[in-house]
Amino acid sequence: MSDNIINAKMRNDGALVQVMPDGSEWPMPIPPSRPLTDEEIEAAALSDPDNPPLTDEQLTSAKPVPRVKTLRRALRMTQEEFAERFHLSLATLRDWEQGRTQPDQTARTYLEVIARNPHLIMQTLGTEDAPSVQR
């Protein structure tokens, strides 16, 4: 093994460690990153050939990602599971996710509460241990 190669891994707790030849682990010091200026951020974005910044025209025409879909995916639930566990209509959930309709103020507030503590909501509704929908 070359002296220039470092075997490293990130543990479940998020710590970056160097894995030694004997299998032991040593913490890897990560130098603090300095804040980038707006100019440095723009230059870095422009220099990335795989993901260039969007133009104003592209930003204007882009569809926003529905937050409910992001929330559902973060909870690792199918649409059916999410609708069942939080007592929502599956058709309404699909309409929200596909951008056909937007949640009203009451629904947005409910989704915010779900996002903050989904397990408490499921426990309150008695759906926390609901059987999972087959995937």
Domains defined for the chain, CATH in brackets: 67-125 (1.10.260.40)
**Percent of residues, the chain, with pLDDT higher than 70:** 90
- Give residue 23's pLDDT: 87
Distance CA 29, CA 11 (A): 14
Hey, which residues does 10 pair with through a beta bridge? Answer: 16
Q: Which of 12, 17, 13 is nearest to 29 (CA)?
A: 17
- Give residue 129's pLDDT: 75
pLDDT tens digits along 75-127: 999 999 999 999 999 999 999 999 889 999 999 999 999 999 999 999 999 99
Distance CA 31, CA 123 (A): 43
Distance CA 101, CA 52 (A): 31
Taking the model in full, what pTM does it have? 0.52
- Give residue 54's pLDDT: 85
